[in-house]
Amino acid sequence: MPDSLSYWNLCYNFNKKTVAQPRSCASKTPEETSKKLSEVSKKRWADQGTREKHSQRMVELWADPVYREKTTSAMKADDAKRTKMSEISKRLWEDPVFRDKMKTAQKARRSKERESS
């Protein structure tokens, strides 16, 4: 039997240098995929029965106190996170060095957009 570290590496196949290709989504043709999903969704929601079933399900869910508590607490956590991020952003923008850096980056992006138009 191999020593424990070798055994661990064999079991979990750790690679020292992994290579991953960046992709924006799982689809090789994201525009086509988006269009297809949009069409399917529009077709599904065009059906009055589907909308009524969904509406009724949401009424039932919100009547459940456990669901209501879990959902509202998650919303409050998101609000707290959003407030904290807003405070951090405000502090950053008060820093003149950060402000100058961001203004320069925005100008560069705008000029690049104008060139490509």
Residues 79-114: tens digit of each pLDDT: 888 899 999 999 999 999 999 999 999 999 898 888
pLDDT: is 25 or 70 the higher one? 70
Please check whether residue 53 is in contact with residue 45, taking contact to mean a CB–CB distance below 8 angstroms: no
Q: Is 83 in contact with 89 (CB distance < 8 Å)?
A: no
| 58 band by pLDDT with thresholds 50, 70 and 90 | very high
Please give the model's pTM, rounded to 2 decimal places.
Answer: 0.43
Contact 62, 68 (CB under 8 A): yes
* Mean pLDDT of the chain, nearest integer: 83
User: Coil, helix or strand for 27?
Assistant: coil
Reported as a pLDDT band with limits 50, 70 and 90, residue 18 is low
Q: Give the residue among 110, 92, 114 at the shortest CA–CA distance from 101.
A: 92
Whole-number pLDDT of residue 11: 56
